[in-house]
Amino acid sequence: MAAPRKPFDPPSPQQTAFLERAINEYGRATYNYALRLSHNEADARDLTQEAFIRVYRAWRSFQPGTSFLSWIYRIVTNLHRDELRRRKGRYQEEIPEDNAPQQFKGARPLATEPIEELVDRQLSEPMSKALAGLSLEQRQVLILADVEEYSYQEIADIVGCSIGTVRSRLHRARHQLRRLIESQPKPS
Amino acid sequence: MKSHPSQEQLIDYLHGELAPGEDAAFLLHLEGCDDCRGRYEDEAHLTESLRSFARSTERELPAGVRAVIWSAVESSHRELGWAQRLAAWLRPAVAIPVAATLVVAAFVGYDSVAHRSGAPTIDAAYYLDDHAALTSAVPFNEGNTVPAALFTTESADGAQ
Amino acid sequence: MARNSGLLLLAAVLMGGTPAPPPPADLLRDAMNAPERISYVGEVQVLRIGAERSDATIYRIEHRAPDRTRRWYVAPQDLYGDSVITRGSTTYSIDVKRERLVISQDEDADEQIAARSNFGILMANYNAVYAPDETVSGRAVYVVLLNNKYTGQTTMRVHIDAQTHLVLERQQYGSNGSLIAQTRMEQIRYTNAIPTAVFELPAGLNRVNGAARGQESTDIAHVISSAGFTAQVPKYLPEGFSPIAGDVVSIQDVPTLHLIYSDGIRTVSLFQNEKNAAADLSHYHAIATTVAEHPARYVEEGPTTLVAWSDGNRHFALVGDLSLTELEKIGASVLP
């Protein structure tokens, strides 16, 4: 995902402090947005890293008084779209679970504690599958409107389309999501 | 609003995207129309399910992500002098915990001397929290903005 | 009945008219009770401003009249994703990071009742006057100033929605006139259709019983007599202050008497024990001072100051949004 980067200008304490504050205050939200968009932990990490590196490079272009989160969500949205375009046509295969690095022998990381797995499986699986069944455009708009609670105008700015497009994508996304949830087998 | 709203209007209303007059007329219609209220609640429930899902799958920012960002930033400044690098290293995330550790150590040192008698102590947080909680009895005061339960550890949950 | 009043309100909204303001005291009383009849969603920003540091808390709120509320925290970062659900007198604090649900019961059943009874103290000590109307979150609001009758200072500004009478913003000022606290509602939407599911508790969390608060009582004499030791009370209080509540609670097996005094807006708490249990200030930046020549220490937490001192085995802590000088003066009057 990493593209060749231009050399940085010499850093200033303000630039470093800006990045520090941005990561502290918005790192978690950005990572979760990337996770919801990509449905993939590795991609979410790459997207978050790349987005903050771009924030650092372009820090002077941030307008005080505007929403930082909208800005970084726009960066993540564009990076994700570009990445999918780049991958398009390439054969992709899910790596089986037991191919994952085995450094957690015995002690598993918190994110995959059995209790959490259980809760996630019980509560979230139908929703997770349904979300994965939406198109990228639908998922973007649905997450921004219903989870992040942005206005149609803000979503249009983040995604780069008209308000009318946001509205119609959202309507279709909700219709499709409901259909996908209802089509899943009910737990016995 | 005489006719029943379309599904699109319901969704726009749910997201606060109707014009103010339309919004109020819509609410008026919902007040008197059980069918539309049911449809609205279905849509609201879908939104709520999405938010619950988002909450239940919320993750912390992995520490590795932070490290990669800083390492990318710092590797780009490899040519810089040691003074600038030291300044970068002493950015708030590093400097504050270091300073805080020193301050805490100083106070722990002080208090361990002050309390050698073995008498119990009462955490000042308890007093501050209890004061804030009881001020909710005063008009236009909501008391604690955040319940202490979200801040304290189990052992510090206070009174028996 | 509730539906009819809702319809009348909507009719007023649709006609575009802003109702003529009632007398400010009536408006304040109505505003205090508004959450019992008005349902809404919005985002609340709370600022607490101190000389040393300030805190900002932001939460989304969903309130369904009369008594269901969910607050979902957005900031500070430590609280992101945590939430608090209140159902009547029970509060559920949902700590997602520690995967636990803390259940607290308010033994007094209804803080609104206490607030109502203290409304008289507020009106006895403050003049309520209108300032020019403003807007908050796009809503027309009446602005009521609460001016202290003794000092003439404006202590609170309350911004009340002209149509629903819900408080949308309030600002509190310190004795030097500076802003010390502000609570502001953003993106308010009135809706009667908040699904019940919003107030349901998430599954899969460890349930923990929260700190049991003592049963507060307005019968101060009874509370003092039940402390199990001879309590000291302040002989001096700022003008307009009177005792409003008290309780006795056991903290680490130390019976502690808590008395709270107020003038209807400002409050001050006095804690005392006679088990030689000192206040532990090790987590704060504590500064030395004196209370009637006794060595004391104080800490500032936003606009709130805590002063702690001892007299033999008797330990005191005084907490309030008053100046340090005022607190020291009250503290000095507590000592025999």
Question: Which pLDDT score is estimated for C213?
Answer: 53
The CA-atom distances, in angstroms, between C228 and each of B58, C215, C223, C231, C278 are 49, 16, 10, 9, 18
C144 and C272 both lie in a single domain: no
pLDDT in tens, C197-224: 888 888 778 877 765 555 566 778 888 8
C193 and C233 both lie in a single domain: no
The answer to the question of residue B75 being in a domain is no
Q: How far apart are CA A60 and CA A54, in angstroms?
A: 11
Contact B149 C102 (CB under 8 A): yes
Q: Which of B122, B128, B138 sits opposite C262 (nearest CB)?
A: B138
The answer to the question of residue B66 being in a domain is no
Q: What is the residue whose two structure tokens read 């206490």?
A: C114
Range of the domain at C122: 2-209
Q: Beta-strand (E) ranges in chain A?
A: none
β-partners of residue C146 are C128, C156
B18 and B52 both lie in a single domain: yes
C187 and C247 both lie in a single domain: no
C50 and C125 both lie in a single domain: yes
pLDDT band at B109 (very low <50, low <70, confident <90, very high): very low
The yes-or-no verdict on residue A88 having pLDDT over 80 is no
Q: How far apart are CA A3 and CA A79, in angstroms?
A: 10
Q: How many CB atoms lie within 10 A of CB C314?
A: 19
The yes-or-no verdict on residue C238 having pLDDT over 90 is yes
pLDDT in tens, A34-74: 988 888 788 888 899 999 998 988 888 888 778 899 999 99
Q: Which residues contact C289 (CB under 8 A, 6 or more apart)?
A: C296, C297, C298, C307, C324, C328
Contact A116 C99 (CB under 8 A): yes
B19 and B51 both lie in a single domain: yes
The answer to the question of residue C215 being in a domain is no
Tokens representing residue C322 in the block = 């008053």
Contact C57 B60 (CB under 8 A): no
The answer to the question of residue C45 being in a domain is yes
C111 and C19 both lie in a single domain: yes
The yes-or-no verdict on residue B83 having pLDDT over 60 is no
C146 and C43 both lie in a single domain: yes
Q: How many domains does the structure of chain B reveal?
A: 3
pLDDT in tens, C78-112: 788 889 998 887 888 898 877 888 887 765 545 55
φ/ψ (deg, to 5) at A109 = -65, 155
Assess contact for C290 and C273: CB atoms under 8 A: no
Tokens representing residue C248 in the block = 């006795």
Task: Assign 3-class secondary structure to C167-216.
Answer: EEEEEEECCCCCEEEEEEEEEEEECCCCCHHHHCCCCCCEEEECCCCCCC
The answer to the question of residue C103 being in a domain is yes
Q: How many CB atoms lie within 10 A of CB C127?
A: 14
Q: Which of C191, C245, C281 sits opposite B134 (nearest CB)?
A: C245
Measured between CA atoms, how close is C193 to chain B, in angstroms?
A: 7
The answer to the question of residue C153 being in a domain is yes
Domain architecture of chain A: domains with CATH: 11-88 (1.10.1740.10), 114-183 (1.10.10.10)
C119 and C96 both lie in a single domain: yes
Question: Which pLDDT score is estimated for C236?
Answer: 95
Residue C296: give its domain's CATH number: 3.30.200.100
Q: Which residues of A touch C204 (CB under 8 A)?
A: 115, 118-119, 122-123
Contact A24 C203 (CB under 8 A): no
C239 and C108 both lie in a single domain: no
Secondary structure of residue C139 in the 3-state scheme: strand
Signed CA dihedral, B59, B63, B69, B73: sign only: positive
Q: Which residues of A touch C60 (CB under 8 A)?
A: 149
- Identify the burial level of A22 via C-beta atoms within 10 angstroms of its C-beta, where 0-12 means exposed, 13-18 middle and 19 or more buried: buried
Q: Which of C60, C77, C203 sits opposite A119 (nearest CB)?
A: C203
Picking from C180, C209, C238, the residue at the C-terminal end of a domain is C209
C65 against B1, higher pLDDT:
C65
pLDDT in tens, A160-185: 888 899 999 999 999 999 988 888 77
Query: What are the contacts of B101-107 at 24+ separation with CB within 8 A?
Result: B103/C285, B104/C282, B104/C283, B107/C281, B107/C282, B107/C283, B107/C286
The answer to the question of residue C106 being in a domain is yes
Q: Count how many residues are written for chain C.
A: 336
C42 and C139 both lie in a single domain: yes
C202 and C225 both lie in a single domain: no
The yes-or-no verdict on residue A119 having pLDDT over 70 is no
Average pLDDT for A121-149: 82
Q: How far apart are CA C189 and CA C43, in angstroms?
A: 10
Q: Angle C2-15/B20-32 helices, nearest 10 degrees?
A: 160
Picking from C176, C209, C242, the residue at the C-terminal end of a domain is C209
The answer to the question of residue B63 being in a domain is no
Q: How far apart are CA B1 and CA B29, in angstroms?
A: 6
Q: Express as a percent the part of chain C with pLDDT over 90.
A: 40
B14 and B41 both lie in a single domain: yes
C179 and C271 both lie in a single domain: no
Average pLDDT for C122-129: 94
Residue C70: give its domain's CATH number: 2.50.20.10
Residue B93: closest C-alpha in chain A? A20
For an interface test with B, the pick among A49, A140, A176 (most B C-beta atoms closer than 10 Å) comes out as: A49
ipTM: 0.83
Nearest to C193 by CA among B31, A175, A146: B31
Q: How many domains does the structure of chain C reveal?
A: 2
A188 against A126, higher pLDDT:
A126
Q: Which residues contact C90 (CB under 8 A, 6 or more apart)?
A: C103, C104, C105, C106
Question: Which pLDDT score is estimated for A110?
Answer: 28
Picking from C209, C233, C255, the residue at the C-terminal end of a domain is C209
Highest mean pLDDT among B80-89, C85-94, C304-313: C304-313
Q: What is the residue whose two structure tokens read 């002989």?
A: C235
B93 and B133 both lie in a single domain: no
Between chain B and chain C, the number of residue pairs with CB atoms below 8 A apart is 220
Average pLDDT for C104-125: 72
Range of the domain at B130: 124-156
Secondary structure of residue C25 in the 3-state scheme: helix
C194 and C295 both lie in a single domain: no
The answer to the question of residue C270 being in a domain is yes
The answer to the question of residue B72 being in a domain is no
